Amino acid sequence: MDLALMIFQVEADSPAEEAGVVAGSRLLHLNGRAIRDALDLRFAETAGQVDLVWRDPGGREHRARIRKSEDLPLGLEVDPLKMKACNNKCAFCFALQNAKGMRRALYFKDDDYRFSFLNGNFATLTNLTPDDQDRIVRQRLSPIYISVHATDWGLRNRLLGNPTAPNVLEQIAFFAAGRVRMHTQVVLCPGINDGEALARTLEDLARFRPWVETVALVPVGLTQYREKLPLLKSPDPEYARALLDWSDPRRRQFLRTLGTRFAFPSDEFYLLAERAFPSGRSYEGYPQLGNGVGGSRKFLDEFRRLERRLPASVSPDCRVTMVTGTLALPVLRGPVDRLNGIAGLRVDLVPVVNDFFGGSVSCAGLLTGGDIVRALEGRRESLGEVILIPGVSFKVDEDVFLDDMRLAQVGERFRRPVLRVEATASGLIQAIPRE
């Protein structure tokens, strides 16, 4: 099997094209090293002088020494990164809690340090080889995002469903010694990895400051499709209040001793507990925004800054229907009330109950087209001229919901424009009709 990377495209007028590389060639070596993947290529090609070895489609080997500006890409498009599969069986893994008959990609369990670096995906690091660990340090793949869950080795392995998982503290120590920055998360399963176990986890991770920068405290998410999975409990309002009461003094202590609050409960805990979100400053730059930590505070603060751009009135009169998950309802009520103060504008907020995954799943990012349609059908007579749906409800690069329904199908069903809206204050404000 030829492990050399296939070159699918060579950019016009690029250094690679000038050297004679053509599409369909195989990349053999760059600066004397085999190139395993696109990430290797991106790191190696930043040098001002690049020694390139490739095999053309006819099988002939070529060499070229390319001198160029540092950081100028060679202009090669190669095999895309293929996600590595997870070797764990976590009782709370969402891929194991999907309904039958969904698209195959939703059942794939990914666990890949490269996508942790590139996209902020959380990885357990249980499938790392020694070469992978060395590569992370050598190429400074920093920051990386690690699913820790517990630092007690035995407890963590039970949570992961993997009795042979390596000691995560040894891995973290290795990366800290290599000056790799890390963001971590603990998915809290009530009665299992909270209390004394969580206290130990935070203390253990704090020893690796400043390289371990943050710990996100995230509630476990459970669906109704758990027939063959261990019994777990979802956090309820009482649990959320207790968790915040427990974490607040520890966060203050960390701030005094480490200069950071270090542990950051997710927005869902504040919403469950019906507590006000901390100030924007307390999120310390929002490093775990993509993990549901601080997005609500950021949204509210951004809306207050931008609401001066709102018009005093719209003409002609316009009615807008805005879809959301039930979790975000308390966050959106204030901004929607402000929008309804605009003369000629009416915004109706429609919270959608997630019947597909079960009532305990309440975020907009897991809404399906079918549940949205059912919620809108119940309001068909009062729907606005425009329907807004948050962009987090779709696949990243397509207007497709988790159940494969398409945005266009919703528009056809209700015979009006249905718009995908960025789930930020600026996205909402930009979507409001002006005329």
pLDDT digits (tens, 9 = 90+) for 208-225: 999 999 999 999 987 777
Backbone angles phi, psi at 317, to 5 degrees: -55, 145
Is residue 229 domain-resident? yes
Question: Are residues 40 and 168 located together in one domain of the fold?
Answer: no
Is 112 contained in some domain? yes
Q: Are residues 115 and 218 in the same domain?
A: yes
Give residue 384's identity as a one-letter amino acid code: G
> Contact at 8 Å (CB) between 84 and 112?
yes
Please identify, among 32, 54, 78, the residue that sits at the C-terminal boundary of a domain: 78
| pLDDT number for residue 95 | 72
Assess whether 245 and 353 both reside in one domain. no
Asked if 401 and 372 count as a contact pair (C-beta separation under 8 A), the reply is yes
109 with 194, same domain: the answer is yes
Q: How far apart are CA 218 and CA 204, in angstroms?
A: 18
Distance from C-alpha of 190 to C-alpha of 335, rounded to nearest angstrom? 33
Domain contains 394: yes
Domain final residue pick, 293, 325, 350:
293
Asked if 207 and 310 sit in the same domain, the reply is no
CATH (domain of 224): 3.80.30.10
Please report, for the domain that includes residue 313, its CATH number. 3.40.50
Indicate if 99 and 215 belong to the same structural domain.
yes
139 alpha carbon, distance to own chain's centre: 23
User: pLDDT tens, 161-206?
Assistant: 999 999 999 999 999 999 999 999 999 999 999 999 999 999 999 9
Distance from C-alpha of 202 to C-alpha of 215, rounded to nearest angstrom: 8
In a domain, 85, yes or no: no
Residue 189 pLDDT: 94
**Rounded CA gap, 193 and 208, in Å?**
20
Q: pLDDT at position 1, please? A: 45
Angle, vertex CA 286, rays to CA 256 and CA 126, nearest 5: 90
Domain edge (last residue) among 266, 293, 320: 293
Provide the 10 A C-beta neighbour count for residue 22: 15
- Domain with 63 in it: what CATH number? 2.30.42.10
Q: Do both 161 and 266 map to the same domain?
A: yes
Model-level pTM? 0.89
Q: 89 in a domain, yes or no?
A: no
Whether 325 and 387 share a structural domain = yes
Token pair of 29 as six digits? 């070596």
- What pLDDT, on the 0 to 100 scale, is given for residue 248? 97
Range of the domain at 404: 306-431
Q: Are residues 275 and 328 in the same domain?
A: no
Predicted pLDDT at 352: 92
Does residue 410 form part of some domain? yes
Number of domains in the chain: 3
Whether 301 is covered by a domain: the verdict is: no
Residues of the chain with pLDDT under 70: 1-3, 101-107, 359, 435
Same domain, 265 and 397: no
- Asked whether residue 239 falls in the same domain as residue 343, the answer is no
Q: How far apart are CA 395 and CA 402, in angstroms?
A: 7
The reply to whether 375 falls in a domain is: yes
Residues 71 and 135 in one domain: no
pLDDT recorded at residue 235: 92
